[in-house]
């Protein structure tokens, strides 16, 4: 996975915030850059916090278009479609902090020893169940690899050890994670 430049990162944060503002009717829609890394098809997650508390997080591993378009779409989805939260209100914008995770391509984990906490995120699939956790989640919570595997299963609505079942698929992915400085 090729890391994004500081310019690309700043552009993606601006795209995410701009898409939310446009969706709320607070700013006109902006054209999306399609050159370089921003034009490549790549999955992404957008995480929103208000006053330091999670306010929305939505992403996709299967982009329908460029990284820029994926970030714009996921920003609007995180602000208005995360079922855990009410839609973001215009009055929250001044206290909003945006983070973006540009994803690498997931690959199947053949052995749990491959998992490197802080480097890899996890995607688990079993039947209709599916769950993902970004690399930073394990670091933020101080989890080791076994605890990280347990929590991705629980997030998918599976038993904690489901990742060990023969019909479970566990994939590792890397993410270029960056965000705005908190506003408070």
Residues 120-166 have pLDDT tens digits of 999 999 999 999 999 999 999 999 999 999 999 999 999 999 999 99
Token pair 């489901």 is found at 162
What is residue 34's predicted lDDT score, i.e. its pLDDT?
A: 87
What is residue 75's predicted lDDT score, i.e. its pLDDT?
A: 98
Paired sense of beta strands 175-179 and 107-108, if any: unpaired
Domain boundaries defined on the chain: 6-104, 107-173
What is residue 64's predicted lDDT score, i.e. its pLDDT?
A: 82
The superfamily CATH assigns to domain 6-104 is Hypothetical protein ph0010; domain 1 (3.30.700.20)
Nearest to 45 by CA among 18, 25, 71, 19: 71
What's the pLDDT band for 183 if we cut at 50, 70, 90?
Answer: low
What's the pLDDT band for 184 if we cut at 50, 70, 90?
Answer: low
Residues 40-88 have pLDDT tens digits of 999 999 999 999 999 999 999 998 899 999 999 999 999 999 999 999 9
What's the pLDDT band for 29 if we cut at 50, 70, 90?
Answer: very high
Question: pTM (2 decimals)?
Answer: 0.90
What's the pLDDT band for 3 if we cut at 50, 70, 90?
Answer: confident
More confident residue, 116 or 63: 116
HEC letters along the chain = CCCCCHHHHHHHHHHHHHHHHHHCCCCCCCCCCCCHHHHCECCEEEEEEECCEEEEEEEECCCCCEHHHHHHHHHHHHHHCCCCCCCCCHHHHHHEEEEEEEECCCEECCCHHHCCCCCCEEEEEECCEEEEECHHHHHHHCCCHHHHHHHHHHHCCCCCCHHHCCCCEEEEECEEEEECCCCC
What is residue 123's predicted lDDT score, i.e. its pLDDT?
A: 97
Q: What is 107-173's CATH number, 3.40.50.150, 3.30.1490.150, 3.60.15.10, 3.20.20.140?
A: 3.30.1490.150
Scored b (16 or more CB within 10 A) or e, 139-177 reads eeeebebeebbbbbbebbebeeebbeeeebebbbbbbbb
Cα-trace Rg, the chain: 17
Is the Cβ–Cβ distance between 7 and 33 less than 8 Å? Answer: no
């Amino acid at each position: 996975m090729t890391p994004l430049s500081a310019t690309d990162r700043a552009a993606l944060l601006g795209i995410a915030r701009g898409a939310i503002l446009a969706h709320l009717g607070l700013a006109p829609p902006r054209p999306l850059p399609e050159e370089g890394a921003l034009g490549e098809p790549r999955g992404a997650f957008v995480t929103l916090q208000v006053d330091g508390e999670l306010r929305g997080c939505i992403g996709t591993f299967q982009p329908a278009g460029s990284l820029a378009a994926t970030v714009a779409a996921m920003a609007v989805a995180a602000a208005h479609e995360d079922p855990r939260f009410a839609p973001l209100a215009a009055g929250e914008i001044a206290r909003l902090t945006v983070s973006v995770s540009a994803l690498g391509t997931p690959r199947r984990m053949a052995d749990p020893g491959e998992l490197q906490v802080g480097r890899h995120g996890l995607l688990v699939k079993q039947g209709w169940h599916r769950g993902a956790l970004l690399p930073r989640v394990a670091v933020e919570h101080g989890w080791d690899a076994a605890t990280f595997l347990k929590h991705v299963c629980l997030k998918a609505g599976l038993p904690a050890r489901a990742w060990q079942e023969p019909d479970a698929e566990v994939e590792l992915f890397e993410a270029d994670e960056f965000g705005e400085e908190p506003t408070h």
